[in-house]
Amino acid sequence: MNVFISYSSESLKQAERLREALQKRGISVWADTEGQASSERWQQKIERAIRDADAIVALIDSPHAVDEMQRRTWQAALEAVWTDSGKRLIPFLLREADPPAFVRSLANGPEEVIAIRAKDLRRDWDRAVEDLVSVLLKQPASGERTEVITVTERDRAEREARLNYIVEAAKMREAQQTAQSE
């Protein structure tokens, strides 16, 4: 099992802790816990690691600004999951963190998106890691720290608004092209 861990710079300590816990359980982990520069070459290395991974664990903490590197990593993770039906994205939610929209968007797919939650990092951490390992190995998890991600009504409304915008923009372009050709 080969796992890629995506995390924000604010969650570096938890990413290191998760990497160590998974490695102790025999799972190969790729995570940029060395804090490498966000160069184009480094981005290519991350994208390759995501493509090579069997699963992507998105370590998500309480709301904070998403930096450019994290946004590009999430985009690469989504593309990898969409193009490889065997690859899974598993949210590992810390404290009261809500799954971001990109994670909830996966709930529209053919399979359930299972998230692991560690509300109290001292009390819940070990059990949450065990549940994560079970989910990674496609074994039943205890269920105490797992939750199924669903699409919210707000997600549906935003998707509908985006689709309407695209349709209207296409109609306007078509009308402009027709007017120019006349």
Query: Is residue 111 located within the same domain as residue 176?
Result: no
The confidence score (pLDDT) of residue 45 equals 86
Domain count within the chain? 2
Q: What average pLDDT does the segment 27-34 reach?
A: 79
d(CA 113, CA 33): 26
Mean per-residue pLDDT of the chain = 80
| pLDDT at residue 159, as a whole number | 64
Q: Mark whether 50 and 130 lie in a shared domain.
A: yes
Co-location of 119 and 179 in the same domain: no
Question: Would you state the pLDDT for residue 141?
Answer: 59
Asked whether residue 142 falls in the same domain as residue 174, the answer is no
Q: Do 74 and 158 belong together in one domain?
A: no
Amino acid at 88: R
- Long-range pairs for 78-83: beta carbons < 8 A, 24 or more residues apart: 78/102, 78/105, 78/106, 80/50, 80/51, 80/53, 80/56, 81/56, 81/106
- Say yes or no: 127 and 157 in one domain: no
Q: 169 and 98 in one domain?
A: no
Residue written as token pair 């707000």? 154
What is the structure's pLDDT at 142? 60
Q: Are residues 78 and 108 in the same domain?
A: yes
Q: What confidence tier does 36 reach under pLDDT thresholds 50, 70, 90?
A: low
Give per-residue pLDDT as tens, 56-99.
Answer: 998 988 776 667 777 788 888 888 888 888 888 888 988 888 87
- pLDDT level of residue 24 (50, 70, 90 thresholds): very high
Domain of 135, in residue numbers = 2-151
Residue 11 and residue 65 share a domain: yes
Q: What is the average pLDDT across 113-142?
A: 84
Q: Is the pLDDT of residue 107 over 60?
A: yes
